[in-house]
């Protein structure tokens, strides 16, 4: 089971459906989680994604409404580390795009890497790139996921 936290009320139906379809797992609404001001970088005017991920319990994802970054990048849509992830809806224009990025980060939670196929696990460095990729795993990533889950 994957726990979903959020920083503001959000419609979870599409996200839950996409997670269930791609990973076959259930989702628990873990509720609102306030963003600590300690995560804010005043010089960048963004929130540190690694800090946000570090305060989550394992197998959880946090959907935040703030702009997030990692070192050496202008921004990120999301970040996964150590079986937990954060996704920012700040630059994502629709619930479908939020669901797509959540599925991508959940893939990382379960050990998938970036993929070159027509797959949700493609790396996205811009909104245009994120919009082009599908909301589903390719067959190769599905096989890798099955092997990961069998361990």
In degrees, rounded to 5, the angle at the alpha carbon of residue 135 between the alpha carbons of residues 82 and 1 is 45
Catalytic residue numbers, as ranges = 105
DSSP string, 62-127: EEESS-EE-TTSS-BSEEEETTEEEEE-TT--SHHHHHHHHHHHHHHHTT----SSSSTTS--SSH
What distance lies between CA 87 and its chain's CA centroid? 4
Asked if 145 and 23 count as a contact pair (C-beta separation under 8 A), the reply is yes
Distances (CA, A) of 81 to 26, 35, 55, 60, 124: 20, 18, 11, 11, 17
Q: What tokens does 69 get? A: 């970054």
């Amino acid at each position: 089971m994957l726990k979903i936290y959020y920083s503001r009320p959000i419609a979870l139906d599409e996200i839950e459906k996409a997670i269930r379809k791609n990973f076959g797992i259930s989702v628990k609404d873990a509720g609102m989680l306030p963003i600590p001001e300690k995560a804010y970088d005043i010089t960048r005017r963004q929130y540190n994604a690694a800090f946000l991920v570090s305060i989550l319990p394992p197998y959880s994802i946090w959907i935040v409404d703030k702009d997030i970054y990692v070192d050496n990048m202008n921004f990120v849509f999301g970040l996964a580390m150590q079986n937990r992830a954060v996704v920012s809806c700040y630059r994502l224009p629709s619930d479908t795009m939020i669901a797509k990025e959540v599925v991508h980060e959940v893939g990382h939670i379960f050990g998938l890497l970036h993929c070159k196929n027509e797959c949700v696990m493609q790396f996205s460095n811009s909104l245009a790139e994120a919009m082009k990729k599908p909301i589903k795993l390719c067959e190769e990533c599905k096989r890798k996921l099955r092997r990961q889950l069998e361990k």
